[in-house]
Structure 1
Amino acid sequence: MQILIINLERSKERLAFQTQQFDDLGLSFQRLAAVSVDDIDDSQYQLLGFGWQRPLRKVEVACFLSHQKAWETVIKTNEPAFILEDDAVLSCHIPQLLEEIQNYNFKDIDLINFEVRSRKKIISKKPEYQLVAGQTALYNLYQDRTGAAGYLLYPSGAKKLLQRLAETSPAIADAFIFSHYGLKSLQAEPAAIIQEDQMVAYGLVPAEQFESVIGRSEHHKPIYSSAMEKRVFRKRRIIGQLAMGYRYMQVIFKAQKRFIRLDKAQF
């Protein structure tokens, strides 16, 4: 299975961390050069950064374009890819988990999410699949809100994401992915990936190891150029929230909204 790690040229420490992590796991990966804010000129930023529910920062546009490169790689190779951001920390059973999933040879799955990130998710009440590796259950994932640090994307899913991009504007990467309700997605539990900036919250380390360069969005306060622009974005956000509510109503009788469990002993 191809493994793609999105990494900025200047993030040498992150690449060294991933090299060591993958050596320890006995896996290899392909570095996918991340798009930098320096690669985005003002005209491209104006074109791409203002079509979502709030104005995107340049770093968020760059992050989105980096994930887009990964999706395009999946289409080009016509093979699923395990896509990681370079601050993703992996559980010890990832090699066995990927091998077991590969042997399953899923035909009707577009994406499998392995990450947990301090937010509740809407998943099926019962697992769709049970795996031996890490005693992992795969639930139908109906709605997620944050986290694109580690997911397995199949060619069918890459095609759906790129088709949607042809019809709409970029967003923050995780919001774009998980608001595509046409994706047939699964969620792994216990979570097999945690982003470095979440390790303190989950009690895995006493302090952070790296400075974040990807540009986290949870606490970003947008700046609007005018009251009119603010109203436009507010309307989009309301529409987005209504879509999320409608999605929940569609699956409410077969779904549950809860936190995904993480087993600290596996990290």
Structure 2
Amino acid sequence: MKIYFINLDRSPGRLDWFMAQVAGMDVATVRVPAVDAKQLPEREFERLRCLSSGVNSMSPAEVACLLSHRKAWALVAEGDDDWAFVAEDDIHFSADAASFLKSDRWIPAGVDLVRAETDLARAELSHKTWGEPAGHELRRLKSAQLGSAGYFVSRTAARRLLGYTERHCEPADVILYSPERGILDELVVLQLMPAACIQDMWAPNATVGGSLTSQIAQDRRQFHRSDPRSARRRGIAKLTHEFWRVGRQLASPFRMALLATARQSVFKKVSIELTVRSDTQRAG
């Protein structure tokens, strides 16, 4: 099983950070040159934005991120291995991540994708466990989650993701983990608990403003401030979002209690056990 990690040509610090983490793991790595939003042709951006639901109002950075994941999926789909690990270059691996990266034997049959990361938030998961490899739980993911920084994907699922994103353009994590605007309900997606990796923005004691800090959120805010279409929608979109957010918050405790009582779902925060690293080991 190979690791396909996404890295911009103009981000050598992130490359050094990622390679330092996998050094000594005895795993095969393949660098996937990321699509640079600064070099994304305007015509292609507009074509892809037309494939979006409009809910996410895709920025060039988000489109480029999705295209970068598509490059990784294409390599997986064309490869000889049944499974691969796709990663973004700003993740922190857990202390025991290597045991999952060396082989796919721990992944149950009939599974399409395993979310290996966490944003430390609560997730809705199946009451049933699908396995307990190396003391970790595997449960089916049933709720939308943030982040697309680390996941195991089967060759079959990579092909389906490529086909799906020919017709849909949303942020990569929405494509992977949203039941409404993504492919979550069409695939068997498991969550690894504790997680095997975490994106730098969520990592405890991460260096704010360091070389690993994701620029996508900042680029998105800047884009929407200057994009006339985003400006026209901002008022009503915000009101609509707040309306549904409050409604979901009010209904959530009752829904959680009902599903837990019926043994349909469990609601857990996905933890991670990180290897302790000093600041001097971070990419500079």
Q: Give the TM bin, normalised by the shorter chain.
A: 0.7 to 0.9
**1:218 & 1:119 partners in 2: Cα distance?**
24
Q: 1:10 to 1:56 in 2, by over 3 A?
A: same
- Which blocks of at least 5 consecutive residues in structure 1 are unaligned? none
Q: Residue 103 of structure 1 aligns with which residue?
A: 105
Q: 1:26 to 1:216 in 2, by over 3 A?
A: farther
**1:218 & 1:264 partners in 2: Cα distance?**
29
Offset, 1:265: 6.1
Please give the per-residue CA displacement for 1:41-97, whole angstroms capped at 9, x wherever unaligned.
111111112423132111111100000111111111142210000001111211212
Alignment of 1:13-162 (within 5 A): 13-50=13-50, 51-52=52-53, 53-79=55-81, 80-99=83-102, 102-104=104-106, 106-132=108-134, 135-162=135-162
Is this contact kept in 2: 1:137–1:190, CA < 8 A? yes
Is this contact kept in 2: 1:120–1:258, CA < 8 A? yes
Q: 1:264 to 1:124 in 2, by over 3 A?
A: same
Q: Residue 267 of structure 2 aligns with which residue?
A: 257
Offset, 1:205: 4.5
**2:72 & 2:266 partners in 1: Cα distance?**
31
Offset, 1:191: 1.1
Aligned length: 253
Is this contact kept in 1: 2:92–2:274, CA < 8 A? no
**1:227 & 1:10 partners in 2: Cα distance?**
28
Please give the per-residue CA displacement for 1:196-249, whole angstroms capped at 9, x wherever unaligned.
1212xxx34465642435513898484563599629x95xx88xx89x99xx89
Q: Residue 202 of structure 2 aligns with which residue?
A: 198
Other structure's SS at 2:129 match: coil
- Which blocks of at least 5 consecutive residues in structure 2 are unaligned? 278-284
Aligned Cα root-mean-square deviation (Å): 3.3
Q: 1:104 to 1:145 in 2, by over 3 A?
A: closer
* Larger displacement relative to structure 2 (16-25 or 1-10): 16-25
Alignment of 1:231-250 (within 5 A): 234=237
Is this contact kept in 2: 1:119–1:259, CA < 8 A? yes
Q: Residue 184 of structure 1 aligns with which residue?
A: 188
**2:175 & 2:6 partners in 1: Cα distance?**
17
Identity %: 24
Is this contact kept in 2: 1:111–1:151, CA < 8 A? yes
Q: 1:40 to 1:265 in 2, by over 3 A?
A: closer
**2:107 & 2:266 partners in 1: Cα distance?**
27
Q: 1:169 to 1:42 in 2, by over 3 A?
A: same
Other structure's SS at 1:170 match: coil
Q: 1:90 to 1:227 in 2, by over 3 A?
A: closer
Other structure's SS at 1:210 match: coil
Is this contact kept in 2: 1:60–1:214, CA < 8 A? no
* Larger displacement relative to structure 2 (216-225 or 121-130): 216-225
Is this contact kept in 1: 2:7–2:31, CA < 8 A? yes
